[in-house]
């Protein structure tokens, strides 16, 4: 809480080169890139960082194989390159994963034709991943016995990538590195609108925790409000070439369905793609694609029935999945870019998920539309190039603003971890050894955790059962991760509330201690706020 208090104070005291409104993936990469290159950056979000769309994705970094059907080969090539760049930059976080797709007899394309498509896809990705395989129905049944191959004409397997932890943590790590480079960021700060005068922008904001109102001054304003970009532009008097329409998607999280680490892909009864995706000790099933007018969405009984019916028809489970098996749900609306005024008549299922940036040179105003987690590194670089073009000095244009620390740093970390026998302290409920997990989550800051554990072995204890979080990690989160509500911690810094049932979290004796570490005197109030609110 100290970090947030201090940042809130700084927000009103300085004039920034750039104010970014919105801390989803687009705002986060813009902040990390600009701050590392030497701009004076501030970032605010009305919710928690990644607290809206960017916490609801399918956690996939993919080259957009499905856009091959609409012949968008340029986009597919670009997304494949973005995926490769992410995998190279974050080898512990963005990992290759196999996608096994089963095709029903009579589907609009035969499996062999689709397999040839995956080969082309593989070439377009420079052969960066393992080769695709063609699979007969018999082979699918042998490799993945939970798939119901009745009526299947076969299928194929190819590679893309996924975020091993979760999207929100991935986004937060960009916010955190932006802060390392001097960006002043704060969550739960709402922009009420911005005005431009001769010397720049003045944005009126409220601190939603204290209710205080103040202004933030900046030369340039970046609108990275995701689904709310259009609304925010109205409040700043900006007219743009693009606007958003929304496609709702949901995911249901259930106990792990198969021990194999691969994504299972099916076509639902209505022809849409849906996935069975590994998520730590659980499985995540989704997604849907439904056009909605309002980006604030929720999972409806109809959505649940659609996903459960489709999955039960395609898997051979001991017992069909029911609503009682759902551990947690995710629901969000993809902001899709359309040019001009667009309309509801757009064939939105065919709309590709590319991004667009509108720049008002005269007003020094930038709006980021659409986008994907997959393409985030390009968005960060593109935004800093544009901001330079608006006259902001970037003294370190070549600064490296993304990626895991260098290989030697990792080797040194692993060496120290081995010497203190860290992995032997891994709890039996964990899905991987401690050294791997700590390195992936914290990079070079994982050294501080080793230091804590060396000083006191109790620091390596799990505080919440099945949660894969040690006492020393929670202490570090309290210092460095601007955890403002208990939900920030349970849902976004960690994925505890996605993989542990709510009643089990509530009953966990360690949660109260975690709250004390995170919130001090406010521990009980924050605990009540979380459990009373849902």
Ligand X SMILES: Cc1cc2nc3c(=O)[nH]c(=O)nc-3n(C[C@H](O)[C@H](O)[C@H](O)COP(=O)(O)OP(=O)(O)OC[C@H]3O[C@@H](n4cnc5c(N)ncnc54)[C@H](O)[C@@H]3O)c2cc1C
Contact 475, 520 (CB under 8 A): no
The residue ranges that bind ligand X (CB under 6 A) are 21-27, 44-47, 51-54, 56-60, 190-191, 224-228, 232, 249, 287, 332-335, 371-374
Can you tell me the distance from the alpha carbon of 478 to that of 483, in angstroms, rounded to the nearest whole number? 6
CA nearest 109: which of 72, 156, 157, 161?
Answer: 156
Which C-beta is closer to ligand X: that of 23 or that of 38? 23
Taking the complex as a whole, how short is the minimal distance between the CB of residue 479 and ligand X, in angstroms? 23
84 vs 287, beta carbon nearer ligand X = 287
Query: What distance lies between CA 359 and its chain's CA centroid?
Result: 25
430 or 485: CB nearest ligand X: 485
Taking the complex as a whole, the smallest distance from the CB of residue 276 to ligand X amounts, in Å, to 14
Distances in Å between the Cα of 204 and the Cα atoms of 5, 49, 293, 361, 366 are 18, 19, 27, 22, 18
Residue 123 phi, psi (nearest 5): -65, -40
CB of 194 to ligand X, least distance (A): 10
State the nearest-atom distance from the C-beta of 64 to ligand X, in Å. 9
What is the closest distance, in whole angstroms, from the C-beta atom of residue 409 to ligand X in the complex?
27
CB 478 within 8 A of CB 490: no
Cβ closer to ligand X: 225 or 450? 225
Interacting residues of 432 by C-beta distance below 8 A, sequence separation 6+: 426
Q: Using the structure block, give the residue that is written with the tokens 């029935």.
A: 305
Q: Which is nearer to ligand X, 152 or 374 (CB)?
A: 374
The CB-of-153 to ligand X minimum distance in angstroms stands at: 27
CB of 357 to ligand X, least distance (A): 11
Buried b (16+ CB within 10 A) or exposed e, 101-110: bbbbeeeeee
Nearer to ligand X, 378 or 466 (CB): 378
Measure the CA–CA gap between 497 and 491, rounded to whole angstroms.
5
| C-beta separation of 19 from 203 below 8 A | yes
Q: Which of residues 135 and 386 has its CB atom nearest to ligand X in the complex? A: 386
Nearer to ligand X, 220 or 434 (CB): 220
What is the C-alpha to C-alpha distance for residues 493 and 461, in angstroms, rounded to an integer?
Answer: 18
Residue 184 CB, nearest approach to ligand X (Å): 14
Which 8-state DSSP code applies to residue 373? S
We find the least distance from the C-beta atom of residue 337 to ligand X, in angstroms, to be 10
15-21 and 355-360 beta bridge pairing:
unpaired
For ligand X, the closer of residues 136 and 215 by Cβ is 215
Between 356 and 420, whose beta carbon lies closer to ligand X?
Answer: 356
Given the complex with ligand X, which of 84 and 232 has the nearer CB atom?
Answer: 232
Rounded Cα–Cα distance for residues 211 and 191 (Å): 13
Q: How far apart are CA 324 and CA 314, in angstroms?
A: 19
The DSSP code sequence of 429-474 is: T-SS-HHHHHHHHHGGGHHHHHHHHHH-GGGGSBSSTTS--BHHHH
Nearer to ligand X, 84 or 435 (CB): 84
CA atoms within 13 A on the CB side of 100: 25
* Closest CA relative to residue 107, chosen from 150, 157, 153: 153
Q: Quote the least distance from Cβ 47 to ligand X, whole Å.
A: 4
Please provide the DSSP assignment of 214-246 as one string. Answer: EEEEEEEEEE--GGGHHHHHHHTT---SEEEEE
Q: Least distance to ligand X from the beta carbon of 277, Å?
A: 9
In the complex, minimum distance from the CB of residue 201 to ligand X, in angstroms, rounded to a whole number: 14
State whether residue 339 is helix, strand or coil: strand
């Amino acid at each position: 809480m100290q970090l947030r208090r201090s940042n809130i104070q700084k927000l009103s005291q300085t004039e920034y080169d750039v104010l970014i409104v919105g801390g989803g993936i687009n705002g986060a990469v813009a902040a990390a890139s600009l701050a590392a290159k030497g701009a004076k950056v501030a970032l605010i979000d009305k919710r928690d960082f990644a607290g809206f769309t960017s916490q609801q994705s399918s956690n996939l970094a993919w080259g957009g194989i499905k856009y091959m059907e609409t012949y968008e080969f340029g986009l597919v090539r670009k997304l494949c390159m973005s995926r490769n760049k992410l995998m190279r930059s974050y080898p512990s976080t963005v990992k290759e994963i196999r996608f096994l797709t089963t095709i029903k007899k009579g589907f609009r394309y035969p499996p062999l034709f689709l397999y040839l498509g995956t080969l082309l896809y593989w070439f377009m990705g420079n052969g960066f991943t393992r080769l695709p395989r063609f699979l007969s129905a018999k082979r699918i049944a042998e490799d993945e016995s939970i798939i119901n191959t009745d009526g299947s004409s076969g299928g194929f397997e190819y590679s893309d990538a996924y975020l091993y932890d979760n999207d929100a943590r991935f986004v937060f790590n960009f916010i955190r590195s932006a802060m390392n480079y001097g960006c002043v960021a704060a969550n739960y700060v709402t922009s009420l609108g911005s005005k431009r005068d001769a010397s720049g922008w003045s944005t009126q904001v409220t601190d939603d925790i204290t209710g205080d109102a103040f202004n933030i001054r900046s030369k340039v304003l970046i609108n990275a409000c995701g689904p709310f970009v259009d609304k925010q532009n109205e409040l700043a008097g900006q007219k743009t070439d693009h606007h958003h329409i929304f496609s709702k998607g949901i995911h249901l999280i259930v106990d792990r369905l198969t021990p194999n680490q691969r994504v299972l892909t099916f076509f639902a009864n209505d022809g849409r793609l849906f996935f069975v995706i590994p998520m730590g000790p659980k499985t995540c099933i989704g997604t849907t694609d439904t056009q909605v007018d309002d980006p604030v969405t929720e999972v409806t009984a109809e959505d649940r029935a659609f996903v459960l019916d489709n999955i039960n028809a395609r898997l051979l489970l001991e017992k069909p999945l029911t609503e009682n098996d759902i551990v947690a749900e995710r629901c969000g609306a993809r902001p899709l870019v359309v040019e001009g005024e667009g309309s509801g008549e757009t064939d939105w299922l065919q709309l590709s998920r590319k991004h667009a940036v509108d720049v008002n040179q005269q007003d020094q105003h930038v709006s980021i539309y659409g986008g994907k987690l997959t393409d985030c590194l390009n968005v960060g670089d593109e935004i800093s190039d544009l901001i330079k073009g608006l006259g902001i000095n970037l003294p370190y244009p070549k600064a490296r603003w993304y990626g895991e620390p260098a290989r030697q740093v990792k080797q040194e970390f692993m060496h120290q971890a081995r010497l203190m026998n860290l992995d032997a302290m891994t709890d039996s409920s964990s899905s991987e050894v401690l050294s791997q997990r700590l390195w992936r989550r914290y990079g070079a800051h994982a050294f501080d955790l080793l230091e804590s554990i060396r000083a006191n072995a109790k620091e390596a204890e799990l505080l919440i059962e099945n949660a894969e979080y040690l006492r020393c990690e929670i202490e570090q989160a309290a210092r460095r991760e601007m955890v403002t509500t208990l939900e920030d911690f349970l849902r976004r810094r960690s994925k505890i509330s996605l993989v542990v049932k709510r009643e089990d979290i509530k009953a966990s004796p360690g949660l109260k201690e975690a709250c004390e570490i995170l919130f001090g005197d406010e521990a009980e109030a924050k605990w009540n706020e979380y459990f009373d609110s849902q």
